[in-house]
Chain A
Amino acid sequence: NAGVMQNPRHLVRRRGQEARLRCSPMKGHSHVYWYRQLPEEGLKFMVYLQKENIIDESGMPKERFSAEFPKEGPSILRIQQVVRGDSAAYFCASSPPIGQGADTQYFGPGTRLTVL
């Protein structure tokens, strides 16, 4: 059973460009979470999605950031007009449906975004 997959693993963008980060959850998992980690810090929650629905986006910046988890395909975290402060590691996690251990999240390897 493949784990959570994220791509790309490394992404370099210039200021003002767009960044798209992809996450494929573990097979059978219906919940996806995105976290951001700055150097020497713990992970910070950004958004929680189920298929086609955003459940909790309380950690998402109000502007430039968006996330989706379509019926088909991976979850996408999109950052428009990137700035240097967006440079960080972005981790995706997935968990099983409610009633099947939804409280345990399994993390992907992360995407390291560098904004020049």
Chain B
Amino acid sequence: LAKTTQPISMDSYEGQEVNITCSHNNIATNDYITWYQQFPSQGPRFIIQGYKTKVTNEVASLFIPADRKSSTLSLPRVSLSDTAVYYCLVAQGGLTGGGNKLTFGTGTQLKVEL
């Protein structure tokens, strides 16, 4: 499984855009990039998943360059409630992918202040 590297922590203020970058130099052809959010005492919550270029949903955007060796999760206009740990994972996926164990790192602790 591809190893990921992301910052340990980030600080931001309400209303700002937050970009969290993840490195995954050894990503395989069949791997997808997935981001999860975890609040204290809760299970991780799926945010977004992508394979290449840009993916956007109602919560976030995911930017993936052509070489796919990194990805950036973009959270527009964060609020206090976005304070959480954000995990970047890569694993074989897509509609043809089977079930896979996910490898979580320590994630990025995002702290949003007023």
Residues of A within 8 A of B (CB): 4, 31, 33, 35, 40-45, 48, 50, 55-56, 58-59, 89, 91, 93, 95, 98-110, 112
Contacts and interface: CB of A to CB of B under 8 A. Distances in A.
Interface of B: 32, 34, 36, 41-46, 49, 87, 91-107
Contact of A42 (B43, B49, B101, B105): B105
5 contacts: A33-B99, A48-B101, A99-B95, A104-B46, A109-B42
Contacts of A93: 43, 102
A106 B34 CA distance: 12
A89 B95 CA distance: 30
B8 to A, nearest CB: 11
- 8 A-B pairs closest in CB distance: A103-B93, A107-B43, A42-B104, A45-B101, A31-B99, A103-B97, A43-B104, A107-B44
A110 B87 contact: no
Given A104-B34, A108-B43, A110-B43, A43 B102 contact: yes
Given A45-B101, A104-B34, 13 more contacts: A42-B107, A43-B102, A45-B103, A48-B101, A93-B43, A98-B99, A101-B95, A102-B93, A104-B49, A105-B46, A106-B46, A110-B41, A110-B42
Contact of A58 (B34, B41, B101): B101
B29 to A, nearest CB: 14
Contacts of B95: 99-101
A102 B49 CA distance: 13
A50 B99 contact: yes
B91 A103 contact: yes
B98 to A, nearest CB: 5
Contacts of B104: 35, 42-44
